[in-house]
Amino acid sequence: MPPLRALVEDGHHVAVVVTRPDRRRGRGGALEPSPVKAAAIDLGLRVTERVDDVIDAGVELGVVVAFGRLIKPHVLDKVPMVNVHFSLLPRWRGAAPVERAILAGDRETGVCIMRLEEGLDTGPVYDREVVAIGEEETVAQLRDRLVDTGTRLLLRRLRAGLGDPEAQVGEPTYAAKLDPDELHLDWQLPAVELHRTVRLGRAWTTFRGKRLLVLRGRLATGGPEPPGSLDGLVVGCGDGGGLELVEVQPEGRGAQAAAAWRNGARPSPAERLGD
């Protein structure tokens, strides 16, 4: 259950919801609200795009989830806030903690309920829970589980009282927002690294000069040579391993089973992905 709806259904009063402005989407370019705004309106809540509006809204505590902007000190001085952060702080402070945990090959991540400070995810922690990362788990699947865990932790703390937070301990690492180039599949890399990239969604390579999205894949026991070569649905990788294509999306077309794509494209033995 998403945190906003869970707060309301749990009996907590929400005075105002702050979210990003409406964005233009689709061919017609019509303005559409964010999912958070749509949910807030459905729940009959006041919505604003200005963080400063919370100062005079009569709120006692702010709850921040994946907001994407730093809250300025003059707001925090008036309204204390907690943040639901999807990592085990101080590891993976920043904008893309779930993606960075998968890319780094972390075996576990988690959720922290922390006190919001002016710094980037630097505040002390009220509660945390460890979540194991599945070897085949995608970023979307992992994020869904973290949302469920974070919602449960948040409600537990709000019911029982926040208590005294504990300072973060350890060497911080930072989760910078992903650059699209980081989703490019370089077949010279080891298979396990390429598989992690595919698990993030929208990973891409090229075939016959056009972009080919690799939406799903799985590790194979070995792959053909040289890297980028195809043996059935298995692509050779730089370490001698292989990545089996499961679902792809050719440029200008919809997603499809990799087997259907290969049957239609009929790559020759000399053709390679990435050329």
**What pLDDT, on a 0 to 100 scale, did the predictor assign at position 35?**
86
**What pLDDT, on a 0 to 100 scale, did the predictor assign at position 31?**
85
Separation of alpha carbons 230 and 214, rounded Å: 14
The helix (run of H) or strand (run of E) holding residue 211 is strand 210-220
What are the angstrom distances between the C-alpha of 267 and each of 222, 230, 237?
A: 20, 8, 17
The average confidence (pLDDT) of the chain is: 93
**What pLDDT, on a 0 to 100 scale, did the predictor assign at position 117?**
93
**What pLDDT, on a 0 to 100 scale, did the predictor assign at position 40?**
87
Reported pTM: 0.91
Which residues in the chain land under pLDDT 70?
A: 1-2, 13, 26-27
**What pLDDT, on a 0 to 100 scale, did the predictor assign at position 33?**
87
